[in-house]
Amino acid sequence: MARFRLVIVANRAYADHDTPQGATPEGTAAGGLVAVLRPAAGEGAAWVGAGRGRYDRERVDASGEEWIRTPYGDLRHRRLFFADEEWRGFYELASNAFLWPLLHLVRPFPRLTTYFPQPLTPTREVWSAYRRANEAYAEAAASMDAERAWVHDYQLGLVPRMLRGAGYRGAIGFFLHTPFPDWEVAQEFLDAQGRACFAEWLHGLLAADLVGVQSSADARRLLRAAAVLADAREAEGGLRAEGRFVAVEAHPVGPDATAVEEPARTVADPRWLAELRAVGLPLVVGLERGDYTKGIPERLRAVASLLHRGRRFIHVGAEAPTRVSVPGYEALAAVLDDAAAAAARAAADVGLPFEERREALPWEDVVALLRAADVLVAASLADGMNLVPLQTVLAQGMRPVEARAVLVVGADTGTAAAYGPEFAGRGLVVVDPLDDEALADAIGAALEGLPGRISDAFAQAVRRRDARAWASRYLERLEALHARD
Ligand code: F6P
């Protein structure tokens, strides 16, 4: 019998030990990946992730393993430690200066904005570091002796093929948390070496039994790219490549409902938020990692324009600093500073407070802020899902329906794809974040509660499709597909 029912393989560890005694509290800095996987990572599961916490080495045994107590049971956790140079190549350059911007190219953003970077082609050394890191993950995953391996996200695209190549017999799942790009658009920004690396990456994940993506649009784009780059043929429910069937399916992630709803009932507002609320004006809230995919300058411009038009509200933005030493983030920092300064001036001119925090808020403060929002703006240019609007739906459950928020979300987000068809007009407004006027108008209307506030039906739908439901559905499908082989 295998030692574990499941090994989760993700570059992000379940938790980083940043203090001598404890793990990092849940927050926004770690991104959505850990948040959605938490309910799946309990009893009988193992996790392989990077050791990036200051005290991680002190907490593991000789094989890099430790037990981590989670709300869902004890998790066996293995950490991989990388030398600085390897990390620079694997994480900063190949994963986040090349793949990350590339995967978001559902539209030609480097041409449509002043700050969205072109994917930086990896040098041969950099791509070798990416391969070596993926090999280390594949080896560690195989050594955990689990019935199935669930590999996550773009940092580990080569792992499914490496696992299969090493003779791993269990089911292999791969889940992409980011969007999948439009190949017609993306190829404009790739040279021959960039194209070869992307083709190898895609080829790597097609060794899985099930490739999960966030939306059916992502699945369609993946199938088209695989036809060109991996010689794959579309087949019902997926594709055939190298004589094998690979299922390609949309499995939109959802928030960990308990982690939001419990604190939403009890936590107090932090003092700075209580003071802002005491002014008695509606709050327009934005909360995200400080990333160029998130449409933050666009939100700030819309806020400034509304304030100039005489609208009265308080803007509260919180951007968790992210990937600060990764090339491509400098341009955003300058644009963000300018946009924030302009919006702050517009607020000051009419005597209104304006809040723009560049920090990862503690989880309780995140929940309090989402609970307090009257308009939540998640104007990502492209986003795998963007859990923040969905967490807002859950955090507002205690507010009377007529006093709940309106969510304004970017058209190319998983949230718009998953909930737009049912809830546009009932709590959700879908806009093109690059259309300045449309975005400002949508926020302006949302301040009036138009075209409708978060409904109970919306909250129930989010609860039904929460992180636990997502993981069970994905793993059941993986099991069924593997059993068919
Ligand atoms: O889900 C959000 C996300 O951006 C993932 O795509 C990514 O794997 C994760 O956050 C962690 O990113 P990082 O480790 O670079 O902060």
* Dihedral of alpha carbons 223, 188, 104, 322, sign: positive
Q: What is the pLDDT of residue 28?
A: 39
CA of 152 to the centre of ligand 1 (A): 10
The residue contributing the CA closest to ligand 1 atom 10 is: 31
Q: Which one, of 480, 485, 475, 484, lies nearest residue 173 by Cα?
A: 475
Complete domains list, the chain, with CATH: 1-254+466-485 (3.40.50.2000), 257-464 (3.40.50.2000)
For residue range 300-354, what is the model confidence (pLDDT) as tens digits?
999 999 999 999 999 999 999 999 999 999 999 999 999 999 999 999 999 999 9
Out of 16, 36, 98, 153, give the residue to mutate to test ligand 1, the one with the largest number of ligand atoms within 8 Å of its CB. Answer: 153
Coil vs helix vs strand at 173: strand
Distance CA 211, CA 173 (A): 6
Atom index in ligand 1 nearest the CA of residue 33 equals 1
The residue contributing the CA closest to ligand 1 atom 14 is: 12
Give a three-class secondary structure readout of 194-256: HHHHHHHHHHHHCCCCEEEECCHHHHHHHHHHHHHHCCCEEECCEEEECCEEEEEEECCCCCC
> What residues contact 282, with CB distance under 8 A and at least 6 apart?
313, 314, 374, 375, 447
Chain centroid to Cα 382, Å, comes to 11
Q: What is the pLDDT of residue 1?
A: 81
CA of 10 to the centre of ligand 1 (A): 10
Distance CA 428, CA 330 (A): 32
For residue range 297-313, what is the model confidence (pLDDT) as tens digits?
999 999 999 999 999 99
Q: What is the pLDDT of residue 26?
A: 47
For tokens 């940043």, name the residue.
18
Q: What is the pLDDT of residue 29?
A: 41
Q: What is the pLDDT of residue 457?
A: 96
Reading the block at residue 177, the tokens are 């948390």
Q: What is the pLDDT of residue 27?
A: 42
Q: Which one, of 218, 262, 206, 223, lies nearest residue 104 by Cα?
A: 218
CA of 32 to the centre of ligand 1 (A): 7
> Which secondary structure element, helix H or strand E, spans residue 406, and what is its range?
strand 406-410
| pLDDT, mean of each 10-residue run, the chain (485 residues) | 94 90 50 89 95 93 94 94 98 98 98 98 98 98 97 98 97 98 98 98 98 98 98 97 96 96 97 98 97 98 98 97 94 96 98 96 97 98 98 96 97 98 96 98 98 96 97 97 87
Q: Who lines ligand 1 at CB under 6 A?
A: 12, 31-33, 153, 177-178, 322-323
Give a three-class secondary structure readout of 107-131: CCHHHHCCCCCCCCCCCHHHHHHHH
Q: What is the pLDDT of residue 31?
A: 67
The residue contributing the CA closest to ligand 1 atom 15 is: 323
